């Protein structure tokens, strides 16, 4: 894809040199630990009233829809890639500072990736700002935090092993650029628009957060933890909605003639490659839909495509969808 470079600094925070711990930013993780601790305690509460909450969520979604002058409306949520619940992330726990931060600057071997990530997140923020404005709602921009190895997020400490993620507590997207190698080599999804899809998916979680979908889902899950799980549970619905929202953003890049031949195929290949069934097949050798958290390859591809084709977030209501299949 062909992008103008985002203005410096754009919507990017470069923490690659911090070796996993901001010496000055340690407070955030501690605070998040308190918040997360509360949420986790909530999860252990007795389940009950789950259906009522589900109803509320759907109604809330429809209200937002009817308010949207231009038809924009979604709610929000957060994923691989949303904390809490991220495998590999330890809420409230700080990563040890490394005495030897990676030197960044000068000849930065990742300079092109940094610039591209900045351009995508800045552009996606611009697009969502406008869509929120048209529907009479306010949008607070997210930023992408680049880190190397590990990072203390508002959702606790996380290592690069968790992959890119969005933290609703601090409203930031986190990315270790080495994930692009994994995406290309392990998942077989290379190309710049595959990367753009991943970033746009995370920004999609931010959109869900801004719209209040994330907090509504969290509430339902606290009441009824089982509501989150399963092949058509809330977790999968949240993730597929973020894919659809990434597609809505991609639609605008198409309209602005930013796409190169093959870009959308790259994005759809990436969405397919990170499907739960694809990953389970390659890691544990069998597919268990009841343990899905993000949706199958076909579902992820098709919800991205749906958003891309329509360009309207109204078509991303995975919560009301009777079937998550195409
Ligand atoms: Zn996600």
CA distance linking residue 292 with residue 76, whole number of Å: 20
- Where does residue 284 rank: exposed (0-12), middle (13-18), buried (19+ CB within 10 A)? exposed
Mean pLDDT by 10 residues, the chain (326 residues): 75 86 34 27 35 43 31 28 51 53 68 96 97 94 96 92 93 96 92 95 96 93 91 93 97 94 93 90 89 93 96 94 84
In angstroms, the CA 13 to CA 151 distance is 12
- Ligand 1 centre to CA of 217 (Å) is 14
The pLDDT assigned to 104 comes to 52
CA of 205 to the centre of ligand 1 (A): 7
Ligand 1 center to 80 CA (angstroms): 6
Task: Return the beta strands (E) in the chain as ranges.
Answer: 12-15, 143-147, 150-153, 156-159, 165-167, 172-175
The whole-model pTM stands at 0.78
Q: Do 73 and 246 contact (CB within 8 A), yes or no?
A: no
Q: Is 106 helix (H, G, I), strand (E, B) or coil?
A: coil
Q: What spacing in Å lies between the alpha carbon of 182 and ligand 1's midpoint?
A: 17
Q: pLDDT tens, 152-174?
A: 999 999 999 889 999 999 999 99
Residue 8's Cβ-count burial label (10 Å; 0-12, 13-18, 19+) is exposed
């Amino acid at each position: 894809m062909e992008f103008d470079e985002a203005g410096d600094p754009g919507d990017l925070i470069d923490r690659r040199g911090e070796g996993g711990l901001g010496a000055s930013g340690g407070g955030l993780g501690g605070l998040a630990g308190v918040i997360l601790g509360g949420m986790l305690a909530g999860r252990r509460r007795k389940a009950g009233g789950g259906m009522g909450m589900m109803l509320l969520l759907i109604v809330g979604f429809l209200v937002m829809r009817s308010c949207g002058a231009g038809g924009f409306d979604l709610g929000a949520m957060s994923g691989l890639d949303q904390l809490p619940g991220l495998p590999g992330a330890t809420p409230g726990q700080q990563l040890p500072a490394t005495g030897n931060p990676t030197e960044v600057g000068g000849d930065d071997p990742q300079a092109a990736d940094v610039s591209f990530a900045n351009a995508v997140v800045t552009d996606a923020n611009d697009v969502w700002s406008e869509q929120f404005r048209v529907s009479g709602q306010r949008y607070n921009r997210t930023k992408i935090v680049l880190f190397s190895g590990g990072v203390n997020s508002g959702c606790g400490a996380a290592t690069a092993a968790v992959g890119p993620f969005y933290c609703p507590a601090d409203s930031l997207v986190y990315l270790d650029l080495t994930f692009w190698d994994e995406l290309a080599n392990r998942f077989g999804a290379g190309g710049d628009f595959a990367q753009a899809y991943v970033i746009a998916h995370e920004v999609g979680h931010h959109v869900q957060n801004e719209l209040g979908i994330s907090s509504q889902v969290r509430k339902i899950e606290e009441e009824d933890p089982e509501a989150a799980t399963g092949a058509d549970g809330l977790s999968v619905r949240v993730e597929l909605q973020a894919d659809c929202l990434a597609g809505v953003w991609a639609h605008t890049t198409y309209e602005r003639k930013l796409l190169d031949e093959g870009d959308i195929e790259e994005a759809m290949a990436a969405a397919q490659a990170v499907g739960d069934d694809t990953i389970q097949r390659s890691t544990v050798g069998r597919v268990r839909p009841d343990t899905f958290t993000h949706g199958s390859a076909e579902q992820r591809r098709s919800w991205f495509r749906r958003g891309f084709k329509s360009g309207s977030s109204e078509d991303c209501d995975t919560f009301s969808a009777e079937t998550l299949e195409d």
